[in-house]
Structure 1
Amino acid sequence: MRELLVLTFGLIVCSGAEIRALNASWPVICQPSCDNHATCLPNNICQCFPGYMEQQGVCTPICSYDCGPHGNCIAPDRCGCDASYAWDAQIKRCKAHCSPACKVNEFCSEPDVCSCKPGYVHEQEVCRPQCSRGCGTHGRCVAPETCACFTGYEWNSKLFTCVPKCTPRCGSHSFCHKTNECKCLRGYKPDDGKSLSCSLPLVWWIYLIIALITIVIVCSVAGIIYYFVARGRNVNYYPNSNFYDTNRIVQ
């Protein structure tokens, strides 16, 4: 049974159990007081809220990614950008802000400063793509290191230039001289009027060489045949006598 003692001054004296219950319901106060992002634990200890960490007695927010040189972590996983910079959620960085906006193939490199993208050069107030090898007289550079050929031409990766295009393709010993016009290599003549395929013409000395080679082959074969025939006819059937039969007939 709870015992209360009412004094003449109107004060209420509580039992020990009631005092402990009141102390448990009162908030714990640390000295010095804790940071705004921390709570006070018993024994005068401050504990940072989740998403914060203690640095030199102050609870600072934690960002799982780097805010970059132009930003700082202002809340858990939230970056704040410097003046003239804006947060880009895709790259998770503070990007410079340009006003007015940059043109095609440009990017905002510094606040209100536009620069050409990599692979582009500034020419006549415009950022144009750059092709280090050039595209020749029959093509133009449409993207960094990428050429587009004019109509009637195609890209030759070995020559790094645009060359005439022939449809259908030129045949053996010929090349595309102009658009849809084939031409024979030096020393060759077309097999037809379109020069799609070319062959080496046979001049008189080539015919002479062929004739001489044919004669030599025929004579060689004839000589070999005659040699073996003559050798077979001159056979000595009686090596121990003086009789010699040239007709292979014994009477």
Structure 2
Amino acid sequence: MKFAEKKPLAVAYIDECATQMHYCQSNTVCLNLPGSHRCDCLPGFLRVDEYSCTEHDECASGQNLCDENAICTNTIRGHLCTCKPGYVGNGTICRAFCEEGCRSGGTCVSPNTCVCPSGFTGRRCETDIDECAEGLIECHNHSRCVNLPGWYHCECRSGFHDNGSYLLDGSSCIDNDECSLQTHTCWNDSVCVNLPGGYDCVCTSGPGCGGDCPHEEGIRRNGEDWKPSFDRCAICSCKDGQTYCRRRPCDCGDPDEDLFCCPGCDNRPSSQCLDQSGRTLYRSGASWMYGCQQCRCMEGEVDCWPLVCPVLMCEYTAVAEGECCPRCVTDPCLADNLSYDIRQTCQDPAGAARLSGDTWHMPNSPCTTCKCKNGNVCCSVDLDCLENN
């Protein structure tokens, strides 16, 4: 018995292009293939993806609004902006993001990278640079360097005063003439002789030139030193009939040294102090800056007092972010110490007169705020506002 030979079945393919069962988008032409189809771009158009084409590649041509720190993705009707990793924003504005933030007025310039203002250092600008201790500042010999948060000050030494020009390097410190000002303590037959930063009492003749000093109903001999009863940490001397008292020097090598008077010699663990952050341990007598306060460790207890800022005679001053003391500025728009004078007005874009202290928004720019400061129009732009508009 012979069986009929079977012929192979014919395979029928679906023409997706003809039956509109394709996924091709605008600006493409559908090309049918066995078991599939392909979307080819029309002449003059550029491919976006497998199924779509666009007339222009705005990312490649540079005709886009993406921030330099954003990734541009071309789309059919335009482009899409997405901030790169480590940046935040809406794509048209991308700002670097620092996870722990930047302290002391530092600026986040790239992911987890802060640029610190003058006077600060550290990964987050958390460390104040002690310009005085590091020898970065050379004050005039009539003054001494005093460290301030983010800054420094050349303060006139004892026996000197500023001549009113308040020069930054302390060269405006001049001698106090205690003799002509009658602020000396020379007595009996001694004569005041002015010296740089002080004075001396010279006695050449007369009954009061013996040089002895009356003391507690007794006499102290010229050149004699003693510990006074009113201050356990002082030492007094008799010089040419005049008593001088000062804080006595400390000798940490002396096992009997008075630790009350010399806290810097106190190495006992119970006398140490933790700073406000709880990370740094200070010995008794040590000092440090915290915020805008000067702090000191005294036998295990922390004592703080407000920082004394230098007197500035300039017209405009401002306190920079992260600092405690004002600096001189020339721009009244930057000034913090401005007293508003309502007689000095400003003119806004609409031509209306604005009193000193008035604020307004710029027309067609809701993120720009202006303020009148004694006849000066001072404007600023809110970056967060720009991101949301």
Q: Normalized against structure 2, the TM-score is what?
A: 0.21
* Structure number with larger C-alpha Rg: 1
Query: Which of the two has greater helix per residue?
Result: 1
